[in-house]
Chains A and B, each alone.
Chain A
């Protein structure tokens, strides 16, 4: 009698469970609304609610409870075995990439490099959503055990951000690659075009033992090497400086140093490259000779012209002669671009309109074809290029541009076009590459080469410009990488899906509609029902 009583009361409780389930479910939703988001409490309440509600479909067989318990325990046991089995298989990242362009695999060069990597590298990513990086992490971790990936939210974990970056502000989107003392800072935007190229080269840079030194020539009114004092008056514009560019180089594993050639009298032996950034006066004869000798001895130099600070355009015969010796003419002219006017810009802000597809500096940018404006840019021309060198026009302005006399613009005189059509805004000169060896033959060792890049504007490295234009960042990074001849850097070409356009006529679209939307479902519906009715009759 007593047993029957307790059985009955358990049955009553069992019958109440679906009601409790609905209440739990409502409670979960109420909690989520109160918190303005689903949190673990609301998930738990909803989960328990659903589970209890489902007992509505289970017969209240209290006497059989132990058998249900038996099923439950066995099921949990097998679930555990399945989870362990899955985790075991997951360790072996065996995969086959069936895409034609091998879009989801690393290139052979990266794989080879990662497999022989001996140093520990930390990759610290600041983001609020690590999910998109997981695939990349799995790809890289499949090849080496030396990489450690960390994900932090810069907003929620300011301490982590402070520990990673000793200076500057860390934002979500920043990526730090560290190995020992070396560190390199990237931005997620840099990974957008060709993540493998950027990431692998960053790993190579931080694992390299020696830092490359970039010397900034001074003493001729160049852009300030040090960060300027903040302007004393509110409306005053801050002075141009190279501090952002230097920080940019330091973050990418380079070392920077000022160079006063007139004082030292020689180019440091460890200089990987010399930068002449917007000189306002000419070089001294001795400096010109030093730089010419440096370049001819396979040196590397980046020259950028800036707008004259005074109303008189300074003559710079020595710089011009130095460049002309290597095949680059830089006349005292200014590029005017009428295409810029269409974009509500001034004509003296020429657009970087086309990129050279053959140069390693601009190849990737050319594939994307993005444009952006410079300001007060001198046009460059191809002069007499010595036979041992190769000239390339890296970037050009639009076909609607022209060059005019620089002094005339400064004097506010009416300007006459001197040269119409696309103007060269940036050019490179380098020693001719070694001849291509036939397939199967070992390629000759890469020798040290002379490399010179000239831009008609120093906007690209100036503080105010560099941070605002992503294309400028990429162009300067590619320029520096090419100039410093980092041949151990891996050049992974961007992998893009091959375009397979299909242009359909109206008749073809109708045919697709009739065949897929009408014929297939109708055939299944009427054919199937007729067949089943026929079978039933027979």
Chain B
């Protein structure tokens, strides 16, 4: 398992030499930036109207940049990851199987876990790049508000980064699992997308007659566990949820690869 380095290096190289990665990243940041720009415009007008009202002696709480802009931006970022992962993960195992290079890979002295971990961590590295690039939004808010001392709360920003990285990791594991099921990239992408959407909307189902079922589904819904992070609350159970989910998906992927040894 620990000798994943060669696979990881090769996958990272493939990701960052592939134009599709940059197209996906550019699209991802274009959408987030459009929303961010809109949030900043609304925030500025709210700040101005709160200022005007306080001048006329009326009480109106001025908005908070972390609450209004940063939290919402990261909410969008974490939601968009759901649509980004299928595009990045679909080729991971499926392409190798399709091209026939997978047999070559498994003949190397590497275990299934090493292969999977190399591929998975390469995808998480792309996630890390997204996390680093997302730092630009709180930085702009800090730059614009520094004159008024209106800086974002950096501990909450860190919490949002952790959320982004954890959710990216869990979704990546799901993507790797889906990719290991099939030889067809498109199928892998569709399965990942449908799976991630279903995993996210688990708690949304209206089950008025069965509140307990709804409670359980909500508890195991992916989106439910990012809320605490985005609010600035780090909870042990949320960390455990994403780490265990990642482990589970990678385990299923490894078992799926393992099954090929026995297939007729």
Q: A440 interface residue, CB < 8 Å from B? A: no
Bound CA–CA A61/B256 (angstroms):
14
Give chain A nearest CB distance to B247 CB in angstroms: 7
Query: Which residues of the partner chain B approach A63 to less than 8 Å between Cβ atoms?
Result: 264
A521 with B64, Cβ < 8 A, contacts A64-B263, A535-B17 known: no
Interface pair A509/B137, CB less than 8 Å apart: no
Q: B144 interface residue, CB < 8 Å from A? A: yes
Bound CA–CA A262/B196 (angstroms):
77
Instruction: Tally B residues with Cβ within 8 Å of A.
Output: 88
Interface pair A502/B150, CB less than 8 Å apart: yes
Task: Tell me the A493-538 residues at the B interface (CB within 8 Å).
Answer: 496-504, 508-509, 512-513, 515-517, 520-522, 524-525, 527-529, 531-533, 535-536
Q: Which B-chain residue is minimally distant from A50 (CB atoms)? A: B194
A82 with B25, Cβ < 8 A, contacts A533-B19, A536-B17 known: no
Task: Tell me the B192-220 residues at the A interface (CB within 8 Å).
Answer: 194, 198, 205-207, 209-211, 213, 218
Q: A68 interface residue, CB < 8 Å from B? A: yes
Task: Tell me the B212-264 residues at the A interface (CB within 8 Å).
Answer: 213, 218, 228, 231-237, 240-241, 244-245, 247-248, 251-252, 255-256, 258-259, 262-264
Interface pair B255/A38, CB less than 8 Å apart: no
Bound CA–CA A93/B1 (angstroms):
32
Bound CA–CA A50/B197 (angstroms):
13
Q: B30 interface residue, CB < 8 Å from A? A: yes
Bound CA–CA A497/B262 (angstroms):
60
Interface pair A516/B259, CB less than 8 Å apart: no
Interface pair A520/B29, CB less than 8 Å apart: yes
Query: Which residues of the partner chain A approach B18 to less than 8 Å between Cβ atoms?
Result: 532
Q: B114 interface residue, CB < 8 Å from A? A: no
**Chain A positions 20 through 46: 1 when the CB is less than 8 Å from some CB of chain B, otherwise 0:** 000000000000000001111001000
Query: Which residues of the partner chain B approach A228 to less than 8 Å between Cβ atoms?
Result: none
Bound CA–CA A64/B263 (angstroms):
6
Bound CA–CA A151/B208 (angstroms):
13
Chain B CB within 10 Å — which of A70, A104, A500 has the most? A500
Query: Which residues of the partner chain A approach B194 to less than 8 Å between Cβ atoms?
Result: 50
Tell which of A9-17, A72-80, A281-289, A314-322 binds the partner. A72-80
A500 with B29, Cβ < 8 A, contacts A78-B248, A82-B244, A82-B245 known: no
Interface pair A503/B252, CB less than 8 Å apart: no
Interface pair A74/B231, CB less than 8 Å apart: no
State the main secondary structure of chain B at its contact with A. Answer: helix
Interface pair B206/A517, CB less than 8 Å apart: no
Q: Which B-chain residue is minimally distant from A128 (CB atoms)? A: B208
Q: A90 interface residue, CB < 8 Å from B? A: yes
Interface pair A499/B48, CB less than 8 Å apart: no
Q: Which A-chain residue is minimally distant from B252 (CB atoms)? A: A75
Q: A189 interface residue, CB < 8 Å from B? A: no
Interface pair A500/B240, CB less than 8 Å apart: no
Query: Which residues of the partner chain A approach B159 to less than 8 Å between Cβ atoms?
Result: 98
Q: B155 interface residue, CB < 8 Å from A? A: yes
Interface pair B255/A71, CB less than 8 Å apart: yes
Q: A435 interface residue, CB < 8 Å from B? A: no
Query: Which residues of the partner chain B approach A43 to less than 8 Å between Cβ atoms?
Result: 205, 207
Give chain B nearest CB distance to A525 CB in angstroms: 4
A96 with B67, Cβ < 8 A, contacts A79-B248, A503-B44 known: no
Q: A94 interface residue, CB < 8 Å from B? A: yes
Tell which of B34-42, B81-89, B102-110, B115-123 binds the partner. B34-42
24 contacts between A and B (CB under 8 A): A39-B209, A58-B182, A71-B258, A75-B252, A82-B244, A89-B237, A96-B233, A98-B158, A99-B233, A104-B233, A131-B218, A367-B59, A500-B148, A500-B150, A501-B47, A501-B150, A503-B47, A504-B41, A520-B29, A524-B22, A529-B19, A531-B16, A532-B16, A533-B19
Interfacial residues, chain B to chain A (CB-CB below 8 A): 16-19, 21-23, 25-27, 29-30, 33-34, 36-37, 40-41, 43-44, 46-48, 50-51, 58-59, 61-67, 133, 136-137, 140-141, 144-145, 148-151, 153, 155-156, 158-159, 181-182, 184, 187, 191, 194, 198, 205-207, 209-211, 213, 218, 228, 231-237, 240-241, 244-245, 247-248, 251-252, 255-256, 258-259, 262-264
Other A-B contacts than A57-B181, A512-B140, A516-B29, 17 sampled, CB-CB below 8 A, are A39-B209, A61-B263, A82-B244, A98-B159, A100-B153, A131-B218, A367-B59, A497-B66, A502-B40, A502-B148, A503-B47, A509-B40, A516-B136, A516-B140, A524-B29, A525-B23, A532-B18
